Amino acid sequence: MRFKSLQIILFVFMLVCSTCNTKTVRQPLDVETEIIDFSSFKRIETSSIPESIIKNVSYVKLDGSSDDIQFRIIDILKIVNNRIFILDAQLRKLVVFDSVGAGLGKVGSWGQGPGEYLRIHDFCVSDAGDIYLKDGAGGAGRTGKLFAYDKDFKFVSVQQLPFSVNYVQHLTNDKFMFALNSFNKGENASTQIVITDDEFITETAYLQFDEYVDENFVIGSGTFTCFGDRILYHRTIDNFVYEFSNEGESLKTYFFDFDKRDVPNNVRKNIEENWEELKRYSFIQNIVFINDKYIAGVLFDEVMGKPFIVDRTANCVYILNRREKGFRDMLWCYENNLVSCISPGYEDIQSADLPQDVKDHLENEDFVLCLYELK
């Protein structure tokens, strides 16, 4: 595997090829960039996370005894302050469990009354336990709102945002980091990342959208990924992943190189029109975890989202096959753990290699989280 480090200057572009039909490697921050040669990894298809990289597996049986805490799909999962937060965007609810799976309740309510949201697009939780929901009902040309709740899920405030937001993260210095939409027509138009104070006044802006962004097409959903004292930001069909401190300082950039399978700029510019051609290419759909030993996320490959884990020491990438019996969707990370979910009815429960109490919980049509502690 080839890893290269280089120093780069803000908003400097390096053209790999002179035509718009080839990739453009942008180097937009004055930080170290590590090039990750994805094409050099040995590719291994598998139906489960390999035991060779797992130190321990634990299970969390999620309580489904009341309507308030029931969900159908996990769109975003975060574990903060020993609480498990699960966003089901279809049901328009954010539900919360404790560290052993007991239901604690839901955050806020859907509706059009005072203190009610229309559609949760993203959320974050502060170190103090305060919860912020980004109401994504604004759409193009509208900026949306940010709802705030205390650690006991009581409504605190709602504020109109001055720009159209994709992701939100509360920082340890009581500031906010926002990832903006490419179609944002409010403040900071064409900017990807802003750091603001608690009144949403911009203090720092990072990164500009390039001319090859398709504003009309979205593949997958995402959020800021936090682990330890670091925050990762990534936008689909962009080979860059950006690493920030928990105070919003830019630390490092990762560039994923897929060689001949990199998406050309003309395809990025109009995804729907070039959907058939997109089958020939690969890119990072979501990034979950990066450290010196492992990289994990979701790979868009053959027009499918495929969870993957790179073992950097062994120079190989494990592709987790969703079509294989026994596969469990890998979602997010928690400290040194990768987190997946077993949905009730997904597999032949009694024949699965699981503890009996976990099987019984699944047969009761409840969900189970698997935490894979990495070596």
Quick one: pLDDT at residue 370?
92
Quick one: pLDDT at residue 335?
87
Per-10-residue mean pLDDT for the chain, 375 residues long? Answer: 37 34 49 94 91 94 93 92 94 96 95 89 95 76 85 95 94 96 91 95 93 79 84 91 95 95 92 90 90 92 88 95 54 86 76 86 91 94
Q: Which two tokens stand for residue 282?
A: 């690969």
* Per-residue pLDDT reduced to its tens digit, 136-175: 754 555 678 999 999 999 999 999 999 999 999 999 999 9
Quick one: pLDDT at residue 368?
93
| Placement of tokens 């919980």 in the chain | 361
Q: Which of 283, 251, 288 is nearest to 264 (CA)?
A: 283
Quick one: pLDDT at residue 331?
66
Max distance between CA atoms of the chain, in angstroms, equals: 60
* Per-residue pLDDT reduced to its tens digit, 210-242: 888 888 777 766 789 998 899 999 998 889 999
Is residue 255 within 8 A of residue 35, CB to CB? The reply is yes
Quick one: pLDDT at residue 227?
83
Count helices and strands (H / E) in the chain.
Answer: 3, 29
Q: Which of 330, 324, 321 is nearest to 372 (CA)?
A: 330
Quick one: pLDDT at residue 15?
31
- d(CA 241, CA 224) in angstroms, rounded, equals 11
Quick one: pLDDT at residue 220?
63
| Placement of tokens 């718009």 in the chain | 20
Domains for the chain: give ranges and CATH numbers: 46-245+282-374 (2.120.10.30)
Q: Which two tokens stand for residue 229?
A: 């004292």
Between the CA atoms of 331, 333, 338 and 343, what dihedral angle is there, to the nearest 10 degrees? -30
Quick one: pLDDT at residue 205?
94
Quick one: pLDDT at residue 5?
39
HSE-up (13 A, CA, CB side) for residue 192: 19
